[in-house]
Amino acid sequence: MTVRTLLPETSIPGIVGHPWSAKADKIQSVTGILLGCFLLAHLHFESSILLGKEAFYQVVQILEGGMFSETGHGFPVVTKVFSVFILIVVMLHAAVALRRFPAQLGQWRALRRHMNGINHKDSHAWFWQLVTGFILFFLAPVHVFTMITNPEIGPHLSAERVYHANAWLLYALLLPAVVIHAMIGLYRVAVKWGLTANRRGLRKIIKVLIIYLIVIGSLSLLSYMIIGSDLALPVQPFVPE
């Protein structure tokens, strides 16, 4: 006697059980790790503004290859090229991650009923990663495109973008969403690929990291707002004494 098992249909026919599904998982994990590590470095580089304009200026020059310039001034094209690379990684990550999104209203309702009926921390973490991922789908490309079209970075130029161009609103929404999404993503990758068995301990570390990164990111944003409020238009690039 033959026993037949009926599997639920997916929004992407043929994806379940297909070799591509395993490859997509690996691509999603690799790009997620890359973006998560980039976020950790990016927020710390940005937070150098908390040490003063001079400190942030020097960090920018180092990152833009100022040591290879006769004047010591970095090359903004480095920021442009790297931003293009990050955009490609973001698009690739989003493309393989979209297959996990509920495609219909009924699926969202079923997910909500499931979340209300269980108390599983990893499932709740996945839900919040899903929500923040949806938000980032709209916000992240805007930020990256801005850095591609206007790669000039510096204490005054960045403050102008934040304060006078009102980019603070974008960053205020982007910061918590990207931090929560990235840190939960790193946690899920570590668990998924068996890098740790101590889920409770890792969850505590992730919570501390989320709070810490949002705090330093918020303080950096506030610093740019304060600097920008003192700048008169047209804004002149910062020149160290």
Q: Give the separation between CA 179 and CA 198, rounded to whole angstroms.
A: 22
Cis peptide upstream of residue 176 (ω within 30 degrees of 0): no
Alpha helices, H only, 65-167: 76-97, 105-117, 121-149, 155-159
Burial class (CB in 10 A: 0-12, 13-18, 19+), 5: exposed
Question: Does 124 appear as a known binding residue?
Answer: no
Question: In angstroms, rounded to a whole number, what is the distance separating the alpha carbons of residues 193 and 77?
Answer: 37
Residue 184 is classified by DSSP as H
- In angstroms, the Cα distances linking 32 to 36, 52, 98 are 6, 32, 13
Distances 135 to 148, 164, 179, 181, 209 between C-alpha atoms, Å:
21, 24, 12, 10, 20
Q: What is the largest CA-CA distance in the chain?
A: 86
Q: Provide the residue type at 20 as one letter.
A: W
Q: According to the annotation, is 143 in a ligand binding site?
A: yes
What's the length of the chain? 241
Annotated binding site for heme b: 42, 93, 143, 181
Annotated binding site: 42, 93, 143, 181
